[in-house]
Structure 1
Amino acid sequence: MATAANRLLFLLCTTNLLVLLSTSAAGATTDLDIRVDLIHVDAHRNLTLLERLQRAIHRGSNRFMSLRQGSTKGINGTGMNQSNIQSPVHTGSGEFLMNLAIGTPPLPFLAIVDTGSDLIWTQCSPCTNCFTQSSPIFDPSNSSSFSKLPCSSPLCSALPSSTCTPDCAYLYTYGDSSTTQGILGSETFTFGSDNKTVSVDKIGFGCGEDNEGNGFKQAAGLVGLGRGPLSLISQVGSSLYKQFSYCLTSIDDADMKTSRLIFGSAAVPKNLNDSKVAVTTPMVVNDAHPSFYYLELKGISVGGKRLRIPRSVFRLNPDGTGGLIIDSGTTMTYLEAAAYRQMRKAFIKGIDLPVADSSAVGLDLCFTSPSTAKTVEVPALTFHFQGGHLDLPGNNYFILDDSTGLFCLAMMPSSGMSILGNIQQQNFHILYDLHKNMVTFTPAQCDQL
């Protein structure tokens, strides 16, 4: 159990990240581990700390609304030989981008990385409706390794909406009403970093010929890392790739130190079996949202005192309501209001600072910070998961904006579901083990992985 107070340095923690992945240089490697470098998506934008925080909150709010949406939404399909197609809504618009390459010879492109959806796709020519992208649009006729997947393919059957034209035509819909539509194909994808690359053959992907909406314009497609059969982590298939991890540095650091996304055996933290530091909790499966990574949150303690939150507050229901999702693409943690109100009250009682108007920042609870203070005492925060207790460092749940002098809780109230955001995940090496159906948190210096 954590001590009653954590010493907190004034840190601004925003978690919108850009993944830079090198696919040049040394060619394929025999080391099949894949390492991806992560940097902040707002780096080099000359933004103030308040502007970065506001942008992060805005993106996080949109992401939460997408995750909370119902499982189906009516879409008027075009080119799908159906007048009205019911297409499940997926999250999309993740907080990370990845550079990878497609085809033979490999064509580099930039893609959103999304742990809340499954489909891998990129824009393809000939495009009937495509948004502007920085790299050339992929032309499958120029690749010797491209093939169309037949309607009999298991991946075609796994699509939420597909028709035979006679090829496997798909429609995939995201929570902000963005859509991608095209033909399902098979292709070689190339990944890598640290001057190493790995090529993986016969990955099923969406060759998007009609792509609409505002959710994709920072990239040329999307890589789904959800739990469904269409995702990258599911398709690569071998035991080596049935686990991945990431480790996010404190992004307020002026040096923008490198974070990591890792696939393969190197994804396993070195101190995985040290019960004094590692917290392991089982994933929970929900048929209404099979792609999401649910964890069973049993309770919360503030300042070493367990809050009186009924277990039903975090219960995951069969219809997909309730529960808690761990999501790398949501900035702040969102907690059901019944739990959040108790936590908020405990922090107000435990922090000897005046409560301030938080509207300028966009968060719910802020305090006025003394202008001369270098540190502040904050009550310890513990999340009690099934199987272990996760003690959070103080700068994983409180942030400071120097321009306003506001000292704010990086969490928000919600209704319908809860989400463990990525500010709360920073400086933990987080392993997703799809063999054992477990998620493990271990403290780490993420810039040293």
Structure 2
Amino acid sequence: MGFSFPLKFLIVIVSVSILLVLPVNSTSRNNGIKRSRGFQVSLRHVDSGGNFTKLERLQRAMKRGRHRLNRLSVLAAVGPLAEDADVKSQIHSGSGEFLMELSIGTPPSPFEAILDTGSDLVWTQCKPCRQCFTQKSPIFDPKKSSSFSKLPCGHKLCAALPMSSCDEGCEYTYAYGDYSTTQGTMGSETFTFDDKVSIPNVAFGCGDDNEGTGFSQGAGLVGLGRGPLSLVSQLTEPKFSYCLTAIGGGDGIDDTSAKSTLLMGSLAGIKPGKSGKVVTTALAKNPLQPSFYYITLKGITVGGTRLPIPESSFNLASDGSGGMIIDSGTTITYLEGKAFEAVKKEFVKQMDLPADTSGSTGLELCFTLPADADDITVPKMIFHFDGEDADLDLPGENYIIADKSSGMACLAMGSSGSMSIFGNVQQQNMLVVHDLTKETLSFVPTQCDQL
């Protein structure tokens, strides 16, 4: 069982593209916000407009992804219940891979923020800055906004901060795994999305001391984690979804016109009659890291073979290690070491191509493409998640990446020490719906550039 890919069908694309993503066909809570209006926002990749080829963009993202994996793996096991929680519970995952445009205040002051599903706090840089990094847009001045107010020390979201103090208002410190930090005063403000929808009374960090390299692409960060401080948790309808377009463009250089999409609140649901097969699984919880979106993976099928991977390989341990999270900020999927070795072994067995061991692409498993090949066959790949009919049958382009120029086809996955992460390449061209009320996560096949 597998996918057959006609290379000759893409001769024109190949001639102008460094990295070809194979198109293959199958053969086998409410925290005070009063409005329930949803909104839609375009997302752009942090490397868009950087004149990178697809391969360069993938390699840059993989480098960030490996660092993020290392941080997330450590954080999951040293969360708020650790013995030295006074230090370790203050660390969060760090920046993501996508940026969103929004505005803050009255009148609205536009800025661009990093979208992060691995942390909670919403924040931006504020005047007067004691320590601020350079940003493209003007730094927000709360004194010039008629809708700004300081969050009182007795507010429940001040109490939800991992580290806070009380002076003239609720003071916060929030640190990330790459040693970047933001400090300042918690405020309440009106945020405007898509230049249309204004949401009042959003609690956010007004950062006047922001240090580190993790925020250089944006002017702040929008946390979409499961904790009470996140933007989604503050909505009347705590639900969001995103739809990520395929990595790169079709002309060899990154195509910025194919924007990904974020949908929040009432717009984030699944539309009956307009969706393909919906795969839904329950969200699991890690008490040590309640903000992460854990999902339960039961097994993996490659071709027609259910791999002999013990379910324990993906279990969440009592010490907070292991398990699998879904993350928009990690590019390729990382599987627990023994599970990845089983996947790798089966692909080597089923792919009718010689394995490449040079490591030149940075990916752990690649195959040499015949120079005169008109097509290649890749086995099907199914992720079996917990739940009735929760088998996610991935399109071939969501796990095999072919580089016609270098003559290699690679598996867009890698190995990890403990925690597994379901990355954004595997999520491309799917509407990924996070429902914090039902505590579910759903995948819906979607042409993301047409939303």
TM-score for both structures, normalised by structure 2:
0.87
Secondary structure at 2:226 match in 1: coil
Q: In angstroms, what is the RMSD of aligned CA positions?
A: 2.2
- Per the alignment, residue 305 of structure 1 pairs with 305
Q: What is the one-letter code of the residue matched to 2:113?
A: A
Q: What is the one-letter code of the residue matched to 1:185?
A: G
Is 2:243 the counterpart of 1:244?
no
- Per the alignment, residue 333 of structure 2 pairs with 333
CA pair 158-8 structure 1, distance change in 2 beyond 3 A: farther
Output the CA distance in 1 between the equivalents of 2:75 and 2:48.
Answer: 34
Contact 1:399 1:409 in 2 (8 A): yes
Output the CA distance in 2 between the equivalents of 1:307 and 1:438.
Answer: 26
Choose which of 3, 7, 30 in structure 2 pairs with 1:6.
3
Unpaired stretches in structure 2, ≥5 consecutive residues: 8-18, 23-34, 81-85
- Per the alignment, residue 253 of structure 1 pairs with 249
Secondary structure at 1:257 match in 2: coil
Secondary structure at 1:246 match in 2: strand
How far the C-alpha of 1:266 sits from its partner, in A, is: 2.7
CA pair 291-368 structure 1, distance change in 2 beyond 3 A: same
Show CA shifts across 1:351-406 (max 9, x none).
01111134221110011112233431011100000111000011100101233212
Report the more deviating stretch, 278-287 or 369-378.
369-378
**1:11-22 alignment runs, 5 A limit:** 12=20
Show CA shifts across 1:88-146 (max 9, x none).
21112100111111111111111101000000011111111110111111111111111
Show CA shifts across 1:124-179 (max 9, x none).
11111110111111111111111111211101100001111242111111011101
CA pair 342-438 structure 1, distance change in 2 beyond 3 A: same
Contact 1:247 1:428 in 2 (8 A): yes
Is 2:433 the counterpart of 1:431?
yes
- Per the alignment, residue 29 of structure 2 pairs with none
- Per the alignment, residue 37 of structure 2 pairs with 32
**1:176-325 alignment runs, 5 A limit:** 176-192=178-194, 197-236=196-235, 238-239=236-237, 242-254=238-250, 256-271=257-272, 277-325=277-325
How far the C-alpha of 1:86 sits from its partner, in A, is: 5.4
Contact 2:43 2:260 in 1 (8 A): yes
Show CA shifts across 1:258-290 (max 9, x none).
32111133322335898x811110000111010
CA pair 211-399 structure 1, distance change in 2 beyond 3 A: same
Contact 2:75 2:289 in 1 (8 A): no
Show CA shifts across 1:286-315 (max 9, x none).
110100001010001111211111111100
CA pair 54-232 structure 1, distance change in 2 beyond 3 A: same
- Per the alignment, residue 13 of structure 2 pairs with none
Output the CA distance in 1 between the equivalents of 2:101 and 2:75.
Answer: 31
Secondary structure at 1:69 match in 2: helix
Output the CA distance in 2 between the equivalents of 1:219 and 1:302.
Answer: 39
Q: What is the one-letter code of the residue matched to 2:449?
A: D
Output the CA distance in 2 between the equivalents of 1:204 and 1:130.
Answer: 21
Output the CA distance in 2 between the equivalents of 1:272 and 1:413.
Answer: 38
Choose which of 145, 155, 158 in structure 2 pairs with 1:156.
158
- Per the alignment, residue 367 of structure 2 pairs with 367
Contact 2:330 2:424 in 1 (8 A): yes
Q: What is the one-letter code of the residue matched to 2:262?
A: L
How far the C-alpha of 1:250 sits from its partner, in A, is: 1.9
Contact 1:355 1:367 in 2 (8 A): yes
Q: What is the one-letter code of the residue matched to 1:257?
A: A
CA pair 400-273 structure 1, distance change in 2 beyond 3 A: closer
Secondary structure at 2:75 match in 1: coil
Q: What is the one-letter code of the residue matched to 2:219?
A: A
Secondary structure at 2:401 match in 1: strand
Is 2:64 the counterpart of 1:62?
no
Output the CA distance in 1 between the equivalents of 2:178 and 2:4.
Answer: 39
Secondary structure at 1:286 match in 2: coil
Contact 2:188 2:203 in 1 (8 A): yes
Output the CA distance in 2 between the equivalents of 1:423 and 1:289.
Answer: 24
Q: What is the one-letter code of the residue matched to 1:338?
A: K
Output the CA distance in 1 between the equivalents of 2:222 and 2:6.
Answer: 36
Q: What is the one-letter code of the residue matched to 2:151?
A: L
Number of residue equivalences: 415
Contact 1:293 1:325 in 2 (8 A): yes
Contact 2:57 2:248 in 1 (8 A): no
Contact 2:232 2:265 in 1 (8 A): no
How far the C-alpha of 1:235 sits from its partner, in A, is: 0.9
Show CA shifts across 1:294-348 (max 9, x none).
1010001111211111111100123221111011110000000111000100000
Contact 1:87 1:173 in 2 (8 A): no
Unpaired stretches in structure 1, ≥5 consecutive residues: 15-29, 75-83
How far the C-alpha of 1:73 sits from its partner, in A, is: 9.1
How far the C-alpha of 1:69 sits from its partner, in A, is: 1.9
- Per the alignment, residue 175 of structure 2 pairs with 173
- Per the alignment, residue 79 of structure 1 pairs with none
- Per the alignment, residue 17 of structure 1 pairs with none
Q: What is the one-letter code of the residue matched to 1:410?
A: A
CA pair 6-430 structure 1, distance change in 2 beyond 3 A: same
Choose which of 52, 56, 71 in structure 1 pairs with 2:57.
52
Identity %: 56
Report the more deviating stretch, 370-379 or 322-331.
370-379
TM-score for both structures, normalised by structure 1:
0.88
Contact 2:93 2:118 in 1 (8 A): yes
Q: What is the one-letter code of the residue matched to 1:202?
A: N
How far the C-alpha of 1:446 sits from its partner, in A, is: 1.5
